[in-house]
Amino acid sequence: MSDPAAARRTLEALRQRAVARAADLRRAFDALVEATEGSNVDDEHDPEGTTIAFERSQLSAALDRAAAEVAEVDAALDRVTAGTYGRCEVCGAPIPAGRLTARPTATRCLTCADRGPAPRRGHA
């Protein structure tokens, strides 16, 4: 995606969906918490099978993923503004358009992505 305006439109639409998903998950989480406040539910012996703690954990994890997606999109939008969007953060090579189409928040070309995580700064 070499056109910054097109990249920005794609990322803004992706961000809008991620923010809406996060809001939906937050409402579901809050509703679950509210519904179970003050109840004396024994999760360990719950006849329904799925425990309330498990449901809360699942919703919390999904909410964390949605928040992380919003952060990834925001970082990609920052790269569009800086003029570095579509360039590998490791080697500086262009990230192929197909990869950016499949994963608009990609920060690495396929070669560098296949190498695994970059070493943390200050560590060998």
This model's pTM is above 0.85: no
- Rounded-to-integer distance, Cα 30 and Cα 42, Å: 20
Assess if residue 13 is contained within a domain: yes
Q: Total structural domains in the chain?
A: 1
Give yes or no for residue 98 having a pLDDT over 60.
yes
Assess if residue 25 is contained within a domain: yes
Nearest residue to 73 via CA among 28, 60, 65: 65
pLDDT tens profile 52-75: 778 889 999 999 999 999 999 999
pLDDT at 51: 76
Assess if residue 14 is contained within a domain: yes
Give yes or no for residue 123 having a pLDDT over 70.
no
Domain range enclosing 56: 4-86
pLDDT tens profile 20-52: 999 999 999 999 888 877 665 555 555 655 677
